[in-house]
Chains A and B, each alone.
Chain A
């Protein structure tokens, strides 16, 4: 048995998948019997663990004729495939050692399948942090949002299965409503250069795509996770039926059950979470068209550390000064208030048609239903009533057309969406976000031209129209306090005693544009350069927020005067993808006009006590930074990965640092692999997060009772926590259980030394320490 296993693992096949114009195909499928892999953005791929001998190899990519060949594989075999567009009937096999030259001017950074699986028990945000320049904005440990080059939330749209996720992404404590296990491919585009997805991605775009299989096959995967910290785990299972023609389908489900997490010195009470997710699609593939329907459902209950619920500034000061959470209870799986209950439905119909002139047309309709209930610690009868209950429904439709000729690629499309938010009045609390309707329409065109084998240029432009119509009650005192009585009297539609009923309406016309080049240098390096203009409209939170935020003890106020943001981003990427040392370096400069941010402005007194008031303000901002990633194959068994990210954020109007910019962070990974020993790998990862030394001083003084006297007390909400260093271990080993199935056993230890730390971009940093050591066991069955 062992002998035969060793024989399997000695043979690998690798190479590249390109078009006849020598463009790399990103995400092409490579199948050898039950084994399969997907190509990287540069078109490269690798499959290991192949039994020696003759095999049928199938390489496929949508819109291209599949390559289907018999190949004798022994040792390290190289197969470079050149696929022709579907319209032509020819196919060609070229066995060579040449590397493909990517022509795409936009640099898309993709997560490896191994990375996606590693975070099977965590979240999308956690996994994306492995990309240099992507940080995380957390609320505790279950709510994780990606931060791209210092920007997040509305500035980083998530595109899931070609649909822009409308999951109330405006909120800093609203994580993407997405199951990482349903993703076949996850990638990041930094900046707004990918205009087909929208013109408002001031920070960048996260692209999540399901598994696509174009070969007649049926295979599945089940991942079981167990974690010591949280004393729970998850199970995730998926089945994929692929086809070159006819019916294909995917189905995937995940269930997650976790109890209270633990910091090194105490239990983080009420930090358990549950998730039940499903995603499935059915597709019919015809000769020159395909039609698909997909549906996904995300259902999560997320506990928020009880210690972060505070009544007023006195409580906040007590929390900051004590350095320990005020509530530490014994470990439990129960989730009480405060908590979030979030559900997201996404249904989609898609039709693709390929024409004889090498053009394709894709038409799609998507429906999204997002429900968010936030439960707070409330008195008596209100305990089981959500404090916030929002339902956001979005219909969207789009048509995209693409034509590829020898050197020229044209892309164009139109999109439209209608959205309605409903804030339930049954909460007995005035909602932070009001009822509103929003209509959007957009049109774009992108042309890319290969001037030579080594030089490609691309330019695109997009227009977006948006109209928003809200209905909201304002306390008359607040309306006057904000100065709306003079400017926005025309919005008032009703007088309800102490409150005005208003109907604010906004219309926006936005232009976004992008130009980029890709140049291959003589030494095998490539340089990509990009300039883009993006415009982002203020989100509902920036316009309308009006009330108390219990999680941070602040009164948050939006502003109806908020104008759209305009971002001019310039970036360049220097890539070296051949040889034993590869790297990518991306310096960038993002100049944002009318940058929207929250700043403390005053203290307000209510019967609960004192609260700092944070208002949305606008300024001009400059973000500049460098993302660097290198990979060094030291020896056949040893590999080193390095990533570095630094961002400098400055408010250029007030000449002070921007708030909540990710600190300098550096990660080093040493990996040992022994392929002929069941693909064993051992990995040690070091993460160094430095202290953020550039931050605005938003500290304030508040009169607090001390021994019966009111004493002016400073409240330090600004000083970032100390830097920290974490060490993680990860390992895996794969066994072939039969010709068609494998089992991978993974063991990992996060935060090996049980280091106590707090992170500047964790919104609970004022109250609790971050996670302590966590042992994780993962079993993965491929069949």
Chain B
């Protein structure tokens, strides 16, 4: 009998402490500041003309929806373009421009342009170690009409001293991919 009483007492005390625990554990909306949702590569013809804007937007971040990838127009055979790449986080309001941060930490980032037959990409900026970042570049379109894919890849903590890396060859870059977008491009 005595045992039963003690057991009952234990049960009562358990119920008491569980029922008095507070209910203020609602989740707080997380401010996703680090996510890259948008990549914008704007290529302006040297000597003027309408820029070509390559845009990739993924407004649900790592959610199930795939990025929406667009190109505003085609490139002209043999033309030379001054290019810039910007990175945005449009999950925050107002949208956050991550480009400045990448520039500031230029020695920990590099952008690679992977393609074949579309022409040549040359870096037009430098980090503190005189190695390219790729936020600014010069694109020389192919001399003959071509269509293909252009991959723009942002690598975090690449081995920038790796062989060929400063020439834009990704093979020895290692690091982790922060962004990777494939654009369908036409040179005509």
Within 8 A of A (CB), among B51-92: 56, 58-67, 91
> What string of 1s and 0s marks CB contacts (under 8 Å) between B114-130 and chain A?
11111000000000000
Query: Within 8 Å of chain A (Cβ to Cβ): is B187?
Result: no
**Interface residues on chain A, number (Cβ under 8 Å):** 72
How far does the Cβ of B54 sit from chain A's closest Cβ, in whole Å?
A: 13
Name the residue in B7, B18, B32, B66 with the highest tally of chain A Cβ atoms < 10 Å from its Cβ.
Answer: B18
Query: Within 8 Å of chain B (Cβ to Cβ): is A715?
Result: no
Also in contact, A475 and B63, with CB within 8 A (given A314-B180, A429-B30): yes
How far does the Cβ of B162 sit from chain A's closest Cβ, in whole Å?
A: 10
Instruction: Compute how far the CA of A13 lies from the CA of B65 in the bound complex, rounded to whole angstroms.
Output: 72
How far does the Cβ of A604 sit from chain B's closest Cβ, in whole Å?
A: 6
Instruction: Compute how far the CA of A477 lies from the CA of B65 in the bound complex, rounded to whole angstroms.
Output: 7
Residues of chain A whose beta carbon lies under 8 Å from any beta carbon of chain B: 309-312, 314-315, 318, 326-327, 355, 359, 361, 363, 377-382, 395, 397-399, 401, 414-418, 420, 422-423, 425, 427-431, 434-437, 439, 441, 471-473, 475-478, 481, 496, 498-499, 501, 547-548, 550, 555, 604-609, 611, 705, 707-710
How far does the Cβ of A493 sit from chain B's closest Cβ, in whole Å?
A: 9
How far does the Cβ of A338 sit from chain B's closest Cβ, in whole Å?
A: 10
How far does the Cβ of B124 sit from chain A's closest Cβ, in whole Å?
A: 20
Name the A residues within 8 Å of B21 (CB-CB): 418, 420, 437
Instruction: Compute how far the CA of A401 lies from the CA of B4 in the bound complex, rounded to whole angstroms.
Output: 10
Q: Which residue of B lies closest to A440 (CB)?
A: B18
The 8 Å CB contact of A436, one of B15, B17, B25, is: B25
The 8 Å CB contact of B26, one of A327, A382, A435, is: A435
Instruction: Compute how far the CA of A585 lies from the CA of B58 in the bound complex, rounded to whole angstroms.
Output: 57
Residue pairs across A and B with Cβ atoms less than 8 A apart, 29 shown, are: A311-B175, A311-B180, A312-B180, A314-B153, A315-B176, A361-B3, A361-B6, A377-B176, A380-B105, A416-B14, A417-B18, A418-B18, A425-B27, A428-B31, A429-B34, A477-B64, A478-B63, A478-B64, A548-B62, A604-B66, A607-B36, A607-B37, A607-B67, A607-B179, A608-B62, A608-B180, A609-B179, A705-B180, A708-B148
Q: Which residue of A lies closest to B37 (CB)?
A: A607
The 8 Å CB contact of B60, one of A312, A435, A475, A608, is: A475
**Contact (Cβ within 8 A) A310 B177:** yes
Instruction: Compute how far the CA of A67 lies from the CA of B6 in the bound complex, rounded to whole angstroms.
Output: 32
Name the A residues within 8 Å of B67 (CB-CB): 605-607
Query: Within 8 Å of chain A (Cβ to Cβ): is B44?
Result: no
**Contact (Cβ within 8 A) A473 B6:** no
Name the A residues within 8 Å of B37 (CB-CB): 607
Instruction: Compute how far the CA of A91 lies from the CA of B160 in the bound complex, rounded to whole angstroms.
Output: 79
Q: Which residue of A lies closest to B61 (CB)?
A: A606
Query: Within 8 Å of chain A (Cβ to Cβ): is B33?
Result: yes
The 8 Å CB contact of B114, one of A422, A478, A707, is: A707
Residues of chain B whose beta carbon lies under 8 Å from any beta carbon of chain A: 3, 6-7, 10-11, 13-15, 17-18, 21, 23, 25-34, 36-39, 56, 58-67, 91, 98, 101-102, 104-105, 114-118, 148-151, 153, 155-157, 174-182
Name the residue in B28, B102, B177 with the highest tally of chain A Cβ atoms < 10 Å from its Cβ.
Answer: B177
Instruction: Compute how far the CA of A344 lies from the CA of B164 in the bound complex, rounded to whole angstroms.
Output: 47
Name the B residues within 8 Å of A430 (CB-CB): 30, 32
Instruction: Compute how far the CA of A668 lies from the CA of B72 in the bound complex, rounded to whole angstroms.
Output: 69
**Contact (Cβ within 8 A) B30 A380:** no
The 8 Å CB contact of B178, one of A311, A327, A472, A476, is: A311
Instruction: Compute how far the CA of A416 lies from the CA of B21 in the bound complex, rounded to whole angstroms.
Output: 14
**Contact (Cβ within 8 A) A708 B150:** yes
The 8 Å CB contact of A311, one of B58, B117, B176, is: B176
Name the A residues within 8 Å of B178 (CB-CB): 311, 379, 608
Q: A437-B21, A550-B176, A608-B62 are in contact. List 4 more A-B contacts (CB 8 A).
A: A425-B30, A425-B31, A609-B179, A709-B116
**Contact (Cβ within 8 A) A709 B149:** yes
Name the B residues within 8 Å of A310 (CB-CB): 176-177
Name the A residues within 8 Å of B29 (CB-CB): 425, 473, 496, 499, 501
Name the residue in B15, B64, B104, B149 with the highest tally of chain A Cβ atoms < 10 Å from its Cβ.
Answer: B64
Q: Which residue of B lies closest to A548 (CB)?
A: B62
**Contact (Cβ within 8 A) B149 A327:** no
**Contact (Cβ within 8 A) A705 B182:** yes
**Contact (Cβ within 8 A) B6 A377:** no
**Contact (Cβ within 8 A) B25 A377:** no
Also in contact, A477 and B180, with CB within 8 A (given A472-B27, A708-B150, A709-B149): no
**Contact (Cβ within 8 A) B149 A363:** no
**Contact (Cβ within 8 A) B13 A397:** yes
